Chains A and B, each alone.
Chain A
């Protein structure tokens, strides 16, 4: 007996400030009978989404994240993870109209600010009714669910050992046996920090506007790069110590009185006050410094929140961390160093998709 909510197609949508995250459940246990009954538009959607890894010029399916043979609401299938920039939202709505989504008698469960912003467009252009869901509810639901199903037999959660040492650094699985309390740091365009005490008991502690959007935005202005990947690639080749003023640049070494190590950044972009040094840095250096600045700051705020909330495990999620090992290792190191080993930084394979997963779970009324 299927409720209205679980008529195919099963989508979960998270429309953020920069990226739209879409999860799509592809049923693999479709009976011949069902296949017969499946309307053409539904079939075409399924084919379109599963047979491509890129959609248009900007849509991408993260194939490596696909969760295989997942059982959801009694159905077996694969969960696909797709993203595209928020500025392509009109094209997405147009596609929905072209593919005649409205004939499917389905509901689109959507979260994120864009669920509000584009609600009217969905209705008037696509003839689609959006079910708007709370961002943070979806995020937490999504994380807890994805963690519980694992990652195709592997662990969803991981951490870094020896994060500062590029040779000895290791990414190791972490089993979140006792997830509560948990500090959840979601780094999208901006950053939200939540303290999670149980499945339904959480609070938003604070947030900061210095997030992934700031990194990418500043990189665009400083280096002329056009994609997040390009910005990260430049950062990986740069040297931030040419841009930043370190403690040792001021004190010649460690500032022992305050227990500050010489390598610590005293002033982000501090060297750029000097004309000579401005002329001597490369775009790669600037990209790296931007990345380090934003990441350190998030780490610092997260650490203070963890202290104030008396929580010692911190999970960092969000698309800022996608393919961003530099940032993850830095967060892991900074948290460990400044807390003298008290705090542990954890990461999750499906970084930015938890909101969309949460929206899908809402659609299926999975508690």
Chain B
């Protein structure tokens, strides 16, 4: 029942909600980011981060610090937080938490499959996978020689199986372009997640469905823009759009016929939420679109913390954590490459 969550939520989820709000309080603020932007060297960054939650992870790094080391350690912290929450969770929160990582799992599976197709070493591939998307049988993926075997041997046991079986027959698996496959899988995942949240009901379903709709629309717009001028046909493009969200179905029809960026902008004029994003960019420029989307996403994610007794705060924390790692990566790279003037182009302040 919407409005009465306060009655039962704390029984199962109260501890973890408190934990996640504690993690959220540890995220870097605008003042922290301003300090970091003033740094001259990576060692200064390490010093500033020593006062934050990342201190125990960065403390043991040897002195010639590399940007990839910073990113790795911060991601490690996020993974540790997630695992801590996952081990304490009960149903349905545990399923919810797992859903959050399926996106990374899809990326990892696709990476290993392409690597095996080009005969790369399995262990190297495993090291390159995203830590949030690891699952137990991932190493066996490299054994499969082609897609059919892959599906038969391994994916039936993993949580990603329904996405493969839903959208692709086994013939398509061999020929389909890797990117198209990745995006089809992701579309199936988003729709599945959407259905699951709807089933949960209450505040969770309202807030999560809103967030997922934004995600789906943003992917639709990105796919449209990035496939302009490539060999992806309009029908294929339409197949990659999810079947929910504000843009469904009329917006998708318009997007699938767009052939350049300004047409996309025109199509988005009817949707006030996205029209605001496009208004930030001047005519013809599309580089800053990704950052504008990140800003909008962060805004929506922080709003979830205003309400209590729902699961969306976990999703929000994971996403905000990823954004923070992205910010730190950008700042460290700008400092390391002496491009301080561009540093504000990439940092999205969270609080």
Does A associate with B in a complex? no
Which B residues are within 8 Å of any A CB, using their own CB? none
Which A residues are within 8 Å of any B CB, using their own CB? none
